[in-house]
Homo-oligomer: A and B are copies of this chain.
Amino acid sequence: MSQPPVVLRPERDQALRQRILACALARVGAGGFAALTMQALAEDVGIATGSLYRHFRGKGELAVEVFASASQREVAALAEVFGATGSPSVRLAAGLRQFAARAWGSRRLAFALIAEPVDPQVDEQRLLYREAYAELFVELLEEGVAAGEFRVAHTGLAAACLVGAIAEALVGPLSPPARAAREAGRLTQGLDEVSQDLITFCLRAVGAEEPQS
């Protein structure tokens, strides 16, 4: 018997669950995980807090699901670019450019996913998703090494370095102080500069030819 372990949910329940997740994602996108409270979310969805608890045992479980589904979408978007045509260097640069642009387009959400202080359960997910990203980089690095474009001794370690560099590079520009500075018209780096710096850093780091920008 490979039935789901809990009760079978009628379709209506599944639809409500999806609606709850969509509202939760919108809430995190607007105010980070700090804004994800069960009560406020129940109000957004238009249900009683008690009904919300029928679907999610608590804020932690909900935060983990929101994190996982938003991160999975980013991993898939990056996988698509890395799996497209073009040389490994070109695909690496394109993937980085897209990653930065997507983060820029949803700054509050991106900061929440990458760096917002969160419950340990969400931190666990961060570790798992960083591995998922690292696997994508390993594949591309191995292609690039085989093609003679990249010079990397251990692709696993270089992949981890890339994942860390990319995440950390975006923390500052996406952080609340930088967002405030940008909104106030005070000088901070824009997307194009951040993106170009990141591409240059990463391509050089893996021993690729310098990009012609």
A interface residue numbers (CB < 8 A to B)? 115-124, 126-127, 130, 134, 153-154, 156-158, 160-169, 171-173, 189, 193-194, 196-198, 200-202, 204-207
Contact = CB atoms under 8 A, between A and B. Distances in A.
A156 B158 CA distance: 21
A168 B129 CA distance: 12
A121 B119 CA distance: 9
A177 B202 CA distance: 27
Given A117-B127, A158-B197, 17 more contacts: A116-B123, A117-B123, A117-B124, A117-B126, A118-B120, A123-B123, A156-B172, A157-B172, A157-B189, A157-B198, A161-B165, A161-B166, A165-B205, A202-B205, A204-B205, A204-B206, A205-B205
Nearest to A127: B115
30 contacts: A116-B123, A117-B123, A117-B124, A117-B126, A117-B127, A118-B120, A119-B120, A130-B168, A130-B171, A134-B172, A153-B193, A153-B196, A153-B197, A154-B189, A157-B172, A157-B173, A157-B189, A157-B197, A158-B197, A158-B201, A160-B168, A160-B171, A160-B172, A161-B168, A161-B198, A164-B167, A164-B171, A165-B165, A201-B205, A204-B204
A122 B126 CA distance: 15
